[in-house]
Structure 1
Amino acid sequence: MSILNEANDCHKILVRLVSYANTICSELFRVKDLIPEDFINPSNCCKDLIFDYSYIPKSESIDMKINSSRELRIIDMKIKEKYERIIWRTFQVFESIYQYTKQVEEFYDKIIEGEYLQYNAETLLVDVEGKQLVCETLSFVVRLLLLLDILIPGIVRERILIFVLRHKRSNEFGDLDKIIPLVKRTEYIVGSSKKPSNYPDEYLKRIHVNDYIVQMAIGRMLSDDIYNTTKSFPLPDHRSSALSAQGSLLTMILFLSPQTLNNNISFMNEVVNKFFGDCWIVPIYIGHCIDLTFFWDSYKSARQALQRVVTPSHIENIWKGHQQVMAKCKVELQGYLEEGGMTDEKVMLNMQKLINCQRNCNVVLRWALLHGTYPIKKLRDIFVKPKYHEDIIDFLLETAQFEFELKRIISNIVKEKPLQWENLKNESSKRMKDLSNYFNDENKLSEHSNSGLMKWCLFMSEQIDKLDVKEISSGKSLSKLIQAMEEVETNYLNDLSLVVVETVRKTKDMLTKMFRLLNVNDTVRGLLDNISDCSYANELLSTQVYVEYLQQIIKKNPRNSLKLRSLILKMSSILHLALLRMMQAKTDEQMENVSKYYSEVLVNYVQRVLEVIPEQVFLLINSIAKLQVTSIPETPVFVEKKDIISFALFDERNYLAELTHAVSIYAEGILAMETTFVGIIQVDPVKLLEDGIRKALGRRLKNMFSKTLQFKIKGNLGETLTQLSELSNQIGGFSTSFRYIQDYLHIDGLKVWQEEFTNVISTCVNEECNSFLANGLDTVNSQTFIGKLTSQIMSIVDYRKNVFYLSAANGWFYKDGKEVIGYVFMRKLVSALSVLGVTGINQLCAFKCVKELNDIITTVNLIVEKYSVFNQMTQNFNENKLNEQNIFKVIDNGLSVVTKIGRSLIDTLHNLGTLQLLREQFNCQLCSENRTKATSLHFALKSFDQALVHDFFENPNKKEREPLIYNEINRFLDVAGFVPALSKVYITCAEGGDQIASVLSSFILYCSQFFIFDSKYQTLMLRPKAPVPYDPYVLAVGIVTVFRQFHPSTMWASFSYLSLYVKGVMTNCLTLSKQIPFIIFQLCDFMTSIIQIGGYDKKIYDSLIPVSLLASLNQPN
């Protein structure tokens, strides 16, 4: 039974193992780019909670330390919530590697024990597919571990394992005890010039594969061409290229036999002579390579065998030979790539020459690319001269373009082959029939009657009709027919007319073309694909040196992007390598997943290289913007005849036309690529250009915001206004120029501008807001321009700047009446950042409000927990034990506590009030912009909002409501500025209202002594020489905001405490005929302001405090 038979258990297991290994590799490549930075270089807040294996012996003491610290527990929880998903995914890769090695070990143990009746170790390695699969499964055991060590550093692996150990339940992983030693760190450091003495020998001892199988596989690979690739590279000089895949497998499997590498010099000489005589940089998997001079250095026999060939003189001779071949190939490629250099006829005529040229090109490229990044500088300098990489890339692009054209032509020939064959066959048969009629004896009038030639032509016609394009024997028949025609043409047609001779010649040419068509088939296409394999260079070509030179080539001539398309199609051979066994295993889901990953890798590479075009375009746009802003004024609608010449500006407009033409040339360069499939992803050049423009535009906008909004002086209003004006001018000019060139870029400029502007603002806002979320671990705030600008605005209205808020004018002012933050500032802000920017700052202020509220509630809880007076106050109030006589002692006790800690609470409440008033200003500006620039939307939103509110209050018990409607309309109302900040509920507080009421009542009384009511400004003002320099109105807004987070009864409970205090004082004063203390009037003014700001019912307040009685008394001066 063949091993490829699906009923064969060995076939199923081996193919699935190799397919599984390829899937693991693709997932390993994915997760290595997703590992959080805190696991690579832990930040200060995480370094005490992310551990390597040193945690294991000290786990109990470390866990005890974490559990005893509330701060560490909170950070630990945040780390878990933020990173759990990706860390668990990475751990699953580690687990998969262990499972794969375990399954390979078990399978070969069963083979040795004879559990499979059809096959044993010997018969498996005799079967063509069997020996391939055996070698591949064994090599992946080593490949996976080496790739793991190369891609994810050992200390990172240990941190991931310990994270899983600490945060996952033990029943979720049964093999953790075996995975921990498998992925333990090694001493190997990627990029280091020194290798640990026993590496990778000690590392690979963590796995166990039957040595008999290993030795059998090594012997088979040394004696056989297991992939039969010598037919693709038949020349002896091409042997290292022909056996490259087999040499890679052998390299991996030899690591499983360290005794061979150390003690078998004759065997290693044979290995080096066959596989590594002129190539010792070995690809191990999809572009990841190892240097044998480095990895074999600790193995005695392997090192000695390799030292015989890796010598300066030998390297120099190899490179000279490749240089000569490369020079010859360049001449050939130049001829083939000229217009008309490769046509269908020429390709069929010169098929072998073209294939030989392709072979030579790829052999040179393989050696030059692999060894051009040689880690040992002394040997690399022998052949890596100035412009080495540039020459290799030029040669690679020409080769890729040649292969693309050759494959395209051959594909077209194969596709049209049946039709061409039938046309040629019918035409040549018809011509022979016509000649038989020409020589027919029955035609008495003909002078050319010849029965022999007539029969011969008729016979040839019949033989031609029998030809079948699908029959292998047709080639032999055609050869005989062509030979027969040549003999007849030479011996019998000399005395006949030219028409007859020409007919026979043309028929022979048709038969010759049919013969050539037979030689063009799918086998040829497969041969070309094997020769053009470039999977070894995937990582090499992604290095910065090659990417930069590719970008320089495209920058010089944008139409060179056509060559890039050919290069990407050549690099797509990585898909074939990864998917071949998956197709055999019929694992469709995994195959689609892996194919998608490698396709995305190639597409990302295309985008990375082509980034140069959008960058160049935006350099031109900068020049256009500068020209339009400074040199070409906007032309008015009406211009007097005498002034027309002043608007002509011939030189400037000619320069503008040159810049615009340059933009269109770059755009045409990408658009010339045409739609191409890279793996399973379609690459549309129009979308590629638009995506590149979008990314570059986003970067430019972000840089423009960040560089302009740099505040040297904290809280300086003049500097801030200047920078906002400068930013407004830059954005305006850039926007105008971008829309000007949109037609030349084949994009919708206004749409792209608005979407990317929105993305930049939203990204920065989200980045700032994320630091306030539950899983935010960022310790440094205001990293983006949105955060910095918000902090600057907060600094401008800081109470220390001697500014105060005037509610009648809805803004902050200096004491001399000059506006600080108001209408002018908001207009500047909208002009610079647009409505989106203001909305973003507004949203960030909302998150800051949440933080301040949480801090206030935490502070109040700590106060109540530490001082029992407030709990007693609440208890007495709930039990109706408080009255006008005993309230003094209770309030005085609370006041004494608040006096000690009041300053810190005032700071937090003042910040909260400032944020709320800023939000009110932002909402006012947003509403104004919405009303003037989107009038229909404004009134539609307003009407819809009123209708929903009306419906809610008219039908409070209505069950059939659509929550999505409320969520969606709320999103629009927020942006349009319809939601009053002072009525916003930021956090839900079902409990704690009593404590808030008791503490804030004492706090309000404490603050009242510092404020007076200013009749001139009709607002609360700070008393002269007051010890606390706060704005009373802003503080009142902060207090209202705290009350708003609780049930309204909380505020009235607080006012009830104060009303009892006011009544008690007034009663005593009236009884003793004393003047009412000024603090009572201050307190009432402060409470009145809170009522007005919060929009509370004034009647309830009047029922609590006898205001009429208070007003009848004279206030002291």
Structure 2
Amino acid sequence: MAEPGPSRPATSAAAGDYPELLGFCARAEALIAELLLLSDRAPPQFADRRFDPVLFDFRYFDSPGDFESRIEGNIEMEALEDQLRESCGPYMQRFFALLDGAVTYHEELCSYLNDLQEGLYAHCTLDGVLENNGACQLLVESMSLFGCMILIMEHRIGGLLRERLLVAHLRYDRTFSHPNVERICELCRRHVPTPGSPADFGSSSCFSEVISVQKPEDLLGRFPFPEPVVDAVITCLRNGDVYNHIRFYPDPQHRTTALSLQGGHLYVLLFYSRDLLHRGLVMREIVDRFFKDNWVVPIFLHFSVDLLVSWDAYKEAKMSLVSCLSPASIRDISLHHYSKVPHLLADLGVHIRAINKKYVLDNSPSLLSIIRECNFTLRWLLLHRLASDKKARDLVISIGSSQQVDEGNLLKLLLKASKLEFEVKQLHVELLKTRESTWDKKRHDALECVKDLSQNYLGVGTASCKFKNKTLKDWLEHLFSEVISLNYTAIGSSGRTIHRVLSTLKDIEMLNQIKESVQIKEGFAKIQKNLHDMIKVLNLNQEATSIFTAITDAKYAWVYLTLFEALLKKNISQNPAETLLLHTLFLKFQSWLSAPVQRIKQCESPDYHCVSTYYSSKYAANIFAVLDAIPVTLLKNTTAVSYVNADQSTHLVNRINKEALEELMQLDQQLCEARQAAKLCTISEGLQNISKNFDDLINLNLGGWLKKMIKRELALQLEGKLKCLAKPTNGDIENDLNSLSNYMLSQVQRVEFLQDILHIDGCSIWQETLAAVLEQCAKRELLELMAHMERSTNVVKQFNSVSSPSTFFGNLLQHIVQLTSPSHSMFIEAMVGWFDARGHELLGMRFFNLLELWAGLDGRGLGPIPMDCVGQVGLACLDSLIHILIKQTMENTVKDLHNLVNTKSQDELSKLDDLLGPPMSIPLMGWSSYKQMVKMFDSSWGPLVEKLATIGQLQLVRNLISFKLRSACKIKANTITSSVEVLVSSIHMQKQTCESGSMDQTIRLFHHNIKEQQRFCGLLSPLKAIYSSDDPPMFLTRLLSVFSISQLSRYVLDVHLGSLTSPLKRSTADFSAVIVGLCTLLRQFDSFCTIQYIQFMVQYMRTAEAAFDAMTDAHKGITHSSESPKAVFWLISFCKYMDISRDVLESCLPACVLAILQS
């Protein structure tokens, strides 16, 4: 079993002799931990007024039928019942288990105490238990902890909430017949509310854990203990020193602090006594011994009570307390403690600056005294500044203000005291480890001094002062033998011998011959110093460690980690050196972890893991709450450095003029950077101290937390920057992207500056943060798009009218859609960009290069920084958003085509289709057949042109994005890209297996992930993407061929640009956008549709050539029809975007058409 701490000095053997009592204490500690956990997680539904109709208190038991009848048949209330049962069922079961465990504990403990009182145990009796300090502690705690649990339950989980939880559980689980249900109801029954208490729905203020319960005697009286046992235990507590703490506090002024743990148990047990609180003489005796100079008493961990409030209903107890703690007395006590704070701070500063092993060895008593005094003062001030009694609290705080001691001074005292305590403890442990070697060294030094003096007296030495004295010579020889006989293991005899030798040395020093010789005096002084050090080394023992642990315990002030949180954060941001003190501050509260599980650990209970996990999680949460300011401070201190680096151009020079040397050295910038680096190093050292000293205590995973918090701060800053760009740019988005690129550069420099100091992977953190922020921004824009899609069928058209996009990607999309509008721009494939009517480039590769490299280059053209595929994330997000726009437009287009076919008579369409005949023939009516069909759908072509042009416009943009992704990944992530290509090839070879439907879910998920990686690497062609799974409308290919024919008249063939262009300055959709949109539409259906469309277009070309030949015969000298070359170019462009081989196309064309193509 583990050795108990000094706060409970019972030995493991003593605890093991009384396993029943030890088991009760362990169970009580586990119950309290469960209670605290449940109180932290109280379900909010029980405080929600919407659930009031289905939540009942104990009035339910008076007439359950009436309450149930209100719910039966009421759909809304039944829905609330189901919601409550589903969301709160596990919590209610756990709460009921806690209550059942508590009443079972009380029943079994009372049975044990009755048997103990009656002497039914052969190995122990009540008197025997009380006479044994260890057993007495267990007996006291077994009863006191149960009382603490009831008080904490009333404090943290109000009576109304307890009643509602219990009634709800009994109703839902139908456990009304549970054997302990009556006693559980008694435990949950609402107590008299405390005036001004914070309602019945859970815990009080998180800043104060001072329990304020009115008439606690009535509350604890529901579960009494045998009165003779209670009286015997109280008598033992009143008169003895159960925990042996008085030996740690020799000063009588510290007596109440020495007995504070005992006093907390006594406070609880007094309420189990019938009349002690009403007996004046007894209460005066108790107050004089335990509470004469303090009225805020800790009873468990950081939970305390204010006696001025708690004893208000007990006249004799209150009078006894007030007689010692009148306003004048409180003023004097407060003044005494506050006046010591400045002196203690000064003394602590002196000791901290001088601390080392030698200093600890020489000054152990004074160090112990200052540490004890600091903790005594801190304990009184910190506890009484949280008193529940307003008058007393205000008086204490006002005295502090008059002495100019505020929270800042108290925090400084706490930090410095923690620092000194930690250093002294560490050095004391090191001294204990080297105790024997240090003692041997001091003895050797003393022997050398004696030998040197002996040689001097014999006259053979080289000393300048030589004289002979046989008596002294004999005595020195005797001294030599005495020192050499000293044995480290015989501490008692060695100590007595050293004291005897020192006494003799002092007598010899009085001889005239010794007084007159400086060298002899110096030799004697060295001998005395070494002998004194040997005594100090012998006095080193584990008892000092126990004393330090006892007097430095600060679990009572746990709430001050929360109260001082804002002040600590402010101090850290202003002075990063504060982080060097944080680990000692946190370690000062480590007893908060060990104290509530001490009995559980001694008992080797299986509850140890879960209970310690709960306290560790709370401990770590408070630590991280304080450290939350560090990431902000880190990034703040790197800002100046990054700005300096970003603004300073670095270039090589061949010659340096003497006059320009100082400017080139950039001393001011280097000084600024050095200062920031020093601050960062200080913070890094502080974090390393925390991580190193908490490894054996709890698993903080400080490195993971730091990365997470730096990511959070970087994300917040990046989101703010992107939010600033989410506004109309008036065509100046490239300047915004340049600004964003510079910002990215400064951010990268900051994380690179941090990574070497903090030992973290800064580039990886930046990559993950940037990717996460961009993806989150894209998700927000996607939600915006979905909202627009619900209101409109043409979201792309709205981009031309939206004045203020709410996201960065929305702004980017608006800019791209406006500049690439098919009605105002023209895509020239050879130039890979969009141009206006004057030939000015509106959008091209330069823009996409900037977009891809906005965070991928170092901003000065010096090459890539060590970051892979960062710009690609933004491009991939943009590509996914455009994919959504195309998908919606495509679905609407297919829907419109279905409607178009349905609105026209299908019989009429069938007749026209028959009139045109099979693809390989020429219509009987010739060219006029096409004119008739074009005229039939003339009013429908406008909307179709607009939608196809929109699809084609976005497809061309996606095509350029895909090209940039592919090229960038080939350069920056060639290994990944090659791996994906190999995987895709391998999957393609298993195509038959994949299409057979025999894949399991894992393989399907693998295929999906591979496709996503293909898209990210630009290995998926947007022109081959499938956006719609609808069936094709009837006569689709015939309609689209007629549509294509109808559009030929709008364009002329420009051989210089290699494209069809509009001959007029009117709004005509860009040919490239229309043809790509047409290709994308046909790609959604079976390949047969594509082949049939080509055949129909070839049929039209034959018909046009036949009509041209007839006109040529009738009218000699007529020029070649312009329709055929345009139709041929249209079809060639179509096949190119559909990835149909030119050889296949030429094999389908007749000789006459080939002649046109060759011309």
TM-score (norm 2): 0.66
CA RMSD of aligned residues (A): 7.1
User: Out of 995, 1013, 1018, which is 1:977 matched to?
Assistant: 1018
Structure 2 letter corresponding to 1:129: G
Question: Shift in Å at residue 693 of structure 1?
Answer: 8.3
Taking a change above 3 Å as real, the CA distance of residues 198 and 424 of structure 1, as seen in their structure-2 partners, is closer
Counterpart of 1:928 in structure 2 is 967
Q: Would you say the 8 A contact 1:433–1:461 is kept in 2?
A: no
Counterpart of 1:104 in structure 2 is 105
Aligned to 1:356, the other structure's residue is in SS state helix
Q: Would you say the 8 A contact 2:1023–2:1080 is kept in 1?
A: no
Superposition pairs of residues 414-493 of structure 1, within 5 angstroms? 414-425=432-443, 461=481, 465=485, 467-469=487-489, 471=491, 474-476=494-496, 478-480=498-500, 482-483=502-503
Counterpart of 1:236 in structure 2 is 252
Please tell me whether residue 356 in structure 1 is matched to residue 356 in structure 2.
no
Taking a change above 3 Å as real, the CA distance of residues 5 and 133 of structure 1, as seen in their structure-2 partners, is closer
Q: Would you say the 8 A contact 1:807–1:1019 is kept in 2?
A: no
Taking a change above 3 Å as real, the CA distance of residues 335 and 205 of structure 1, as seen in their structure-2 partners, is closer
Taking a change above 3 Å as real, the CA distance of residues 529 and 257 of structure 1, as seen in their structure-2 partners, is same
Q: State percent identity of aligned pairs.
A: 17
The separation in 2 between residues aligned to 1:638 and 1:350, in whole angstroms, is 61
Counterpart of 1:325 in structure 2 is 340
User: Out of 804, 807, 810, which is 1:788 matched to?
Assistant: 807
Counterpart of 1:752 in structure 2 is 762
The separation in 1 between residues aligned to 2:125 and 2:1033, in whole angstroms, is 84
Q: Which moved more, 1:360-369 or 1:600-609?
A: 600-609
The separation in 1 between residues aligned to 2:583 and 2:1143, in whole angstroms, is 78
Aligned to 2:434, the other structure's residue is in SS state helix
Counterpart of 1:368 in structure 2 is 381
Counterpart of 1:542 in structure 2 is 562
Structure 2 letter corresponding to 1:836: V
User: Out of 571, 574, 577, which is 1:552 matched to?
Assistant: 571
Counterpart of 2:138 in structure 1 is 133
Q: Would you say the 8 A contact 2:148–2:268 is kept in 1?
A: yes
Please tell me whether residue 412 in structure 1 is matched to residue 413 in structure 2.
no
Taking a change above 3 Å as real, the CA distance of residues 503 and 224 of structure 1, as seen in their structure-2 partners, is same
The separation in 1 between residues aligned to 2:885 and 2:274, in whole angstroms, is 65
The separation in 1 between residues aligned to 2:276 and 2:1033, in whole angstroms, is 80
Q: Which moved more, 1:477-486 or 1:657-666?
A: 477-486
Counterpart of 2:55 in structure 1 is 53
User: Out of 870, 874, 882, which is 1:836 matched to?
Assistant: 870
- Structure 1 unpaired stretches of 5+: 441-445, 871-876, 878-882, 889-904, 988-992, 1060-1085, 1101-1105, 1112-1117
Aligned to 1:186, the other structure's residue is in SS state coil
User: Out of 763, 768, 775, which is 1:765 matched to?
Assistant: 775
Please tell me whether residue 9 in structure 1 is matched to residue 23 in structure 2.
no
Q: Would you say the 8 A contact 1:621–1:738 is kept in 2?
A: no
User: Out of 266, 281, 284, which is 2:296 matched to?
Assistant: 281
The separation in 2 between residues aligned to 1:608 and 1:476, in whole angstroms, is 56
Counterpart of 1:990 in structure 2 is none
The separation in 2 between residues aligned to 1:919 and 1:471, in whole angstroms, is 87
Question: Shift in Å at residue 391 of structure 1?
Answer: 2.0
Question: Shift in Å at residue 234 of structure 1?
Answer: 2.7
User: Out of 326, 331, 336, which is 2:351 matched to?
Assistant: 336
Structure 2 letter corresponding to 1:109: C
The separation in 1 between residues aligned to 2:1043 and 2:241, in whole angstroms, is 97
Q: Would you say the 8 A contact 1:286–1:574 is kept in 2?
A: yes
Structure 2 letter corresponding to 1:705: E
Residue deviations 1:812-835 (CA, integer Å, cap 9, x gap): 999999887764554443344555
User: Out of 664, 668, 681, which is 2:695 matched to?
Assistant: 681
Superposition pairs of residues 1038-1057 of structure 1, within 5 angstroms? none
Aligned to 1:746, the other structure's residue is in SS state helix
Q: Would you say the 8 A contact 2:302–2:559 is kept in 1?
A: yes
Taking a change above 3 Å as real, the CA distance of residues 539 and 287 of structure 1, as seen in their structure-2 partners, is same
Question: Shift in Å at residue 109 of structure 1?
Answer: 2.6
Structure 2 letter corresponding to 1:940: S
Question: Shift in Å at residue 415 of structure 1?
Answer: 1.5
Please tell me whether residue 531 in structure 1 is matched to residue 551 in structure 2.
yes
Counterpart of 2:1101 in structure 1 is none
Question: Shift in Å at residue 252 of structure 1?
Answer: 5.0
Counterpart of 1:564 in structure 2 is 582
The separation in 1 between residues aligned to 2:253 and 2:693, in whole angstroms, is 32
Taking a change above 3 Å as real, the CA distance of residues 209 and 154 of structure 1, as seen in their structure-2 partners, is closer
User: Out of 723, 729, 732, which is 2:742 matched to?
Assistant: 729
Structure 1 letter corresponding to 2:851: L
Question: Shift in Å at residue 660 of structure 1?
Answer: 0.8
Q: Which has the greater radius of gyration?
A: 2
The separation in 2 between residues aligned to 1:1004 and 1:129, in whole angstroms, is 100
Counterpart of 1:653 in structure 2 is 666
Question: Shift in Å at residue 604 of structure 1?
Answer: 2.5
Counterpart of 2:634 in structure 1 is 614
Taking a change above 3 Å as real, the CA distance of residues 617 and 906 of structure 1, as seen in their structure-2 partners, is farther
Taking a change above 3 Å as real, the CA distance of residues 6 and 197 of structure 1, as seen in their structure-2 partners, is closer
**How many residues matched?**
998
Aligned to 1:709, the other structure's residue is in SS state helix
Taking a change above 3 Å as real, the CA distance of residues 337 and 733 of structure 1, as seen in their structure-2 partners, is closer
Taking a change above 3 Å as real, the CA distance of residues 5 and 268 of structure 1, as seen in their structure-2 partners, is closer
Counterpart of 2:1056 in structure 1 is none
Question: Shift in Å at residue 747 of structure 1?
Answer: 5.5
Q: Would you say the 8 A contact 2:782–2:881 is kept in 1?
A: yes
Taking a change above 3 Å as real, the CA distance of residues 234 and 984 of structure 1, as seen in their structure-2 partners, is farther
Taking a change above 3 Å as real, the CA distance of residues 735 and 262 of structure 1, as seen in their structure-2 partners, is same
The separation in 2 between residues aligned to 1:132 and 1:907, in whole angstroms, is 88
Q: Would you say the 8 A contact 2:948–2:1077 is kept in 1?
A: yes
Counterpart of 1:1071 in structure 2 is none
Superposition pairs of residues 488-507 of structure 1, within 5 angstroms? none
Counterpart of 2:539 in structure 1 is 519
Taking a change above 3 Å as real, the CA distance of residues 791 and 285 of structure 1, as seen in their structure-2 partners, is farther
Q: Which moved more, 1:380-389 or 1:361-370?
A: 380-389
Aligned to 1:383, the other structure's residue is in SS state helix
The separation in 2 between residues aligned to 1:335 and 1:701, in whole angstroms, is 44
Structure 1 letter corresponding to 2:551: I
Counterpart of 2:940 in structure 1 is none
Counterpart of 1:1064 in structure 2 is none
Residue deviations 1:1067-1108 (CA, integer Å, cap 9, x gap): xxxxxxxxxxxxxxxxxxx999999999899999xxxxx999
Structure 1 letter corresponding to 2:1017: A
Aligned to 1:394, the other structure's residue is in SS state helix
Q: Would you say the 8 A contact 1:814–1:820 is kept in 2?
A: yes
Counterpart of 1:384 in structure 2 is 400
Taking a change above 3 Å as real, the CA distance of residues 935 and 647 of structure 1, as seen in their structure-2 partners, is farther
The separation in 2 between residues aligned to 1:1006 and 1:298, in whole angstroms, is 95
The separation in 1 between residues aligned to 2:844 and 2:427, in whole angstroms, is 71
The separation in 2 between residues aligned to 1:134 and 1:907, in whole angstroms, is 89
Residue deviations 1:241-279 (CA, integer Å, cap 9, x gap): 22333334444556x649779856665555544434333
Taking a change above 3 Å as real, the CA distance of residues 701 and 652 of structure 1, as seen in their structure-2 partners, is farther
Q: Would you say the 8 A contact 1:595–1:679 is kept in 2?
A: no
Question: Shift in Å at residue 786 of structure 1?
Answer: 12
Counterpart of 1:709 in structure 2 is 723
Counterpart of 1:1083 in structure 2 is none
The separation in 2 between residues aligned to 1:273 and 1:151, in whole angstroms, is 31
Q: Would you say the 8 A contact 1:611–1:692 is kept in 2?
A: yes
User: Out of 580, 597, 607, which is 2:617 matched to?
Assistant: 597
Taking a change above 3 Å as real, the CA distance of residues 93 and 231 of structure 1, as seen in their structure-2 partners, is farther
Structure 2 letter corresponding to 1:247: G
Question: Shift in Å at residue 417 of structure 1?
Answer: 1.2
Structure 2 letter corresponding to 1:973: Q
Question: Shift in Å at residue 161 of structure 1?
Answer: 9.3
User: Out of 937, 948, 959, which is 2:986 matched to?
Assistant: 948
Q: Would you say the 8 A contact 1:941–1:973 is kept in 2?
A: no
Q: Which moved more, 1:730-739 or 1:405-414?
A: 730-739
The separation in 2 between residues aligned to 1:546 and 1:829, in whole angstroms, is 43
Aligned to 1:321, the other structure's residue is in SS state helix
Question: Shift in Å at residue 105 of structure 1?
Answer: 1.3
The separation in 2 between residues aligned to 1:585 and 1:328, in whole angstroms, is 45
Question: Shift in Å at residue 527 of structure 1?
Answer: 0.5
Aligned to 2:14, the other structure's residue is in SS state coil
